[in-house]
Structure 1
Amino acid sequence: MPDFSDSQLFELAMGLEASEQQFIWVVRKGKNEKEEEDWLPKGFEKRMEGKGLIIRGWAPQVLILDHEAVGGFATHCGWNSTLEGEASGVPMVTWPMASEQFYNEKLITQVLKIGISVGAQQWTRVVDGIKREAIEKAMRQILVGEEAARTKALGEMARRGVEGG
């Protein structure tokens, strides 16, 4: 799994803040990462109190996605996450990093039209280069675009498909 560079995490934080949207951000530390969080903008967590939550480590993704308050999902476009986002009926901000994720992004954004890309273009081991403006734009657009209605309809179909009887 690719790692995010400190500068990319910083840009992500700044994009989230600039989007003025509420968020839950799950950050998993790699084995070789130091305890200090140099990537976190000074005062970020204080400024985001009541607006954003950073979860360090593992989080129950399906449980979170199924919550009625969740309006969008930023995903690396792995197949499981793609299915979980679609089945939960939440539109996606796509950020593929490796292998089939770029094909899954095309399915999400161009075929099903239930997501918006941040603009990742190439397979990488260290994720870097996506600017805060692209993150902010995608985060704002995903909640007001037609992707939200389309994804909700797909989520309803998915739920009906697994109902008893």
Structure 2
Amino acid sequence: MSSESVQLHIFFFPFMAQGHMIPTIDMAKLFAARGFPTVEAGLPEGCENVDSVSSPDMFPAFFIATKMLQQPLEQLLKDYQPSCLVADMFFPWATDVAAKFGIPRLVFHGTCFFSLPANDAMRLYEPHKKVPSDSETFVIPNFPGKIKLTRAQLTDFTQQEVETYFTNLLKEAAESELKSYGVVVNSFYELESVYADHYRKVLGRKAWHIGPVSLCSKDAEDKAQRGKEASIDEHECLKWLGTKKSNSVVYICFGTIAKLSDSQLKEIAMGLEASGQQFIWVVRKGKNEKEEEGWL
């Protein structure tokens, strides 16, 4: 679309049957894909989500592209005046946009309660700067449980104290969260009650545990088909889990954005093997990797 084209607002209203809803959602995605400003942000054409980002150097451009969604969102809020806006943490500007129209904004992180106050404490108190070496442990201050870490366990940009686009984005997200109405967390109270209470009662933040949100779908096959195609059949995985004792299997996944080198993957694999722990490990297949990795 040219810069002079009229901005289109299209509503999709499907009939309540799978044969209608699924293709309608796919059609909506197809329409929306034509509007993401990839080229304007210096990204390759068709780079519409983080899976399409082929190198770490492209991430700043991708996040800059998401800022171009601010004006369309502002127009939608102005036109339809929703009761609330739930926006991802990576849209820090959403809090101010919602505030323009008196609309409360809830932040969604995608992480658990544990990480929220832990990240806050690390950012505010910087305990990693008070130890003499990367291997010496420190305790996360103002945090339940006396959790010990070393500098070597922190992210690269935290260790190196380098200011980057991503570190600035995280800072903006933290400041935006303080101004927002509250946070929704994909977790449940019984799993991490100590950290939920700490976040709400000690730090005084508004937060609601609404998870696990995946339970909203009762169809196991539907859940198995979401996201990337797995290398194993979902029934095979469930059958294997059924042979294990309760609370005996560890699930490991480093998320969508994490890019691990072969050497890092091998080191993790050796550590897991040495632990003797039963585990399910989700490993993203790289675009240029061979179909089979001998060391896995």
- TM-score normalised over the length of structure 2: 0.20
Q: Larger relative CO (CA 8 A, sep 6+): 1 or 2?
A: 1
Report the structure, 1 or 2, having the larger strand content.
1
Which protein is bigger by CA-based radius of gyration? 2
